[in-house]
């Protein structure tokens, strides 16, 4: 590979990660709809939790990763800990000026992982303050639209652009009305915001299909993060969820778009 080719392959990985693999970057793995190896990824909310693990796995795969974080110092510390070609990127998904400044720093992009998200307390909709709904939706829904649209010019420069939206199984209306979850109506703001994110995943997949952009949503499962008290007390490994995001980030050209998948690759019902 000549110098210019290596340079192009380094371009692509802001806000994202890539799965650890003994295969060469860019090699198709038999029985797997994943292409190994890309250049630049972006992962929002990547200074902790699942986002940080996604960034770590991308870096371990040799990708350039932009570690999105609202706090510059935390982003710098996370990028330093992740190692490889991880680079801090100040990005507040609720701040238009911050989004625009971050997008200006990214020339070309292969993968965008919309991971940043917040939760509410375990309130039902009849007990929740409408301002809590607005705050949750500002990050989990409107922030995804703002960031995605800002980075689309960079993604369109990629030969294989991919967008991964980190959703939640609790956003599945099929599961919400079935036996999978208690019919309590709790965490209404968070869960409904993830249902909205699932809808946006479908709409973006349809709108961007002509540009070759694949857009999918991930249900990461309950993981040990500071999202809320339930997550903090769980035993779920964030790294396991991250492998699911990486899989969707590295999908081959003949793989699906506009889908909702669990961390293990199985489809999740809408």
Catalytic residues: 190
159-197 pLDDT per residue, tens:
999 999 999 998 999 999 999 888 999 999 999 999 999
Q: What is the average per-residue pLDDT within 121-144?
A: 94
Per-residue pLDDT reduced to its tens digit, 205-231: 999 999 999 999 999 865 545 555 565
* pLDDT of 15 strictly over 90: no
pLDDT above 90 coverage of the chain, percent: 62
**Residue-level pLDDT at 239:** 77
Q: With 60 as the cut, is the pLDDT of residue 1 above it?
A: no
Q: Would you state the pLDDT for residue 119?
A: 81
pLDDT at res. 51:
84
Q: Which residues contact 26 (CB under 8 A, 6 or more apart)?
A: 9, 35, 36, 37, 38
For residue 93, pLDDT over 70 is answered with: yes
Tell me the C-alpha distance between 242 and 52, whole Å: 9
- pLDDT of amino acid 40: 80
Mean pLDDT of 87-109: 95
Look at 98-107, 109-118, 224-233 and tell me which has the smallest mean pLDDT: 224-233
Candidate from 1-10, 123-132, 242-251 with smallest mean pLDDT:
1-10
**Statement: residue 75 has pLDDT above 70:** yes
Instruction: State yes or no: pLDDT of 241 exceeds 70.
Output: yes
pLDDT given for residue 220 in this prediction: 86
Angstrom distances, CA of residue 7 to CA of 38, 43, 249 = 11, 21, 20
Instruction: Give residue-wise pLDDT tens across range 24-73.
Output: 222 222 223 333 334 588 877 666 678 888 999 999 999 999 999 999 99
pLDDT tens readout for residues 149-161 = 999 999 999 999 9
Task: Flag whether the pTM goes above 0.85.
Answer: no
Q: What is the DSSP code string of the chain?
A: --HHHHHHHTS--EE------SSPTTPBPTT--BB---SEEEETTTTSHHHHHHHHHHHHTT-EEEEEESSHHHHHHHHHHH-TEEEEEE--TT-HHHHHHHHHT-S--SEEEE-------S--TTTS-HHHHHHHHIIIIIHHHHHHHHHHHHHTTSSS-EEEEE--GGG-HHHHTSSSS-SS--SHHHHHHHHHHHHHHHHHHHHHGGGT-EEEEEE--S-SSSSSHHHHT----HHHHHHHHHHHHTB-TTS--S-EEETTS-B---
Reported confidence tier of residue 6, pLDDT bands at 50, 70, 90: very low
């Amino acid at each position: 590979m000549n110098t210019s080719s290596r340079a192009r392959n380094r371009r692509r990985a802001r806000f994202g990660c890539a799965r650890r693999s003994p295969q060469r970057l860019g090699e198709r793995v038999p029985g797997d709809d994943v292409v190994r190896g890309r250049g630049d990824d972006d992962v929002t909310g990547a200074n902790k939790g699942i986002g940080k693990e996604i960034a770590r796995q991308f870096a371990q795969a040799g990708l350039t990763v932009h570690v999105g974080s609202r706090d510059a110092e935390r982003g710098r510390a996370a990028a330093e800990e992740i190692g490889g070609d991880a680079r801090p990127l100040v990005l507040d998904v609720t701040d238009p000026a911050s989004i625009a400044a971050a997008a200006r720093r990214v020339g070309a992009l292969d993968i965008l992982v919309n991971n940043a998200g917040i939760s509410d307390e375990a309130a039902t909709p009849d007990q929740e303050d409408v301002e809590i709904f607005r705050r949750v939706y500002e990050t989990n829904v409107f922030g995804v639209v703002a960031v995605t649209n800002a980075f689309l010019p960079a993604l369109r420069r990629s030969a294989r652009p991919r967008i991964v939206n980190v959703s939640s199984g609790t956003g599945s209306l099929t599961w919400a009305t079935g036996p999978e979850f208690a019919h309590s109506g709790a965490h209404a703001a968070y869960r409904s915001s993830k249902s909205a994110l699932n809808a946006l995943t479908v709409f973006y997949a349809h709108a961007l299909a002509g540009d070759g952009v694949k857009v999918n949503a991930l249900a990461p499962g309950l993981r040990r993060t500071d999202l809320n008290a339930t997550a903090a007390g769980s035993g779920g490994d964030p790294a396991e969820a991250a492998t699911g995001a990486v899989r969707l980030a590295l999908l081959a050209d003949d793989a699906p778009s506009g889908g909702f998948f669990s961390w293990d690759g199985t489809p999740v019902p809408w």
